[in-house]
Amino acid sequence: MCDQAKELIISHIYGKSEETCKVKLEKNSKGFNYELSMSGPDFATCIKAIEEANKIMKEAYGKVE
């Protein structure tokens, strides 16, 4: 037999499954509600993106109560 150790490495590489930006908008009797979800390389980047998206959503759909 073979005296050398054998190693098998199997790597599964998939496309990016996590969404970087997700917006949920709901119409109700009092107006609109929305939820914002962001992912990114670090917390500061996510917060900045959420603040910008929140500003846009407030202007378009009003303030969320």
For residue 65, pLDDT over 80 is answered with no
* Torsion angle in degrees (nearest 10) through CA of 11, 41, 50, 15: -20
pLDDT of residue 23: 87
pTM for the whole structure = 0.61
Mean pLDDT of 27-32: 86
C-alpha 64/C-alpha 16 separation (Å) is: 31
pLDDT of residue 3: 63
pLDDT band at 11 (very low <50, low <70, confident <90, very high): low
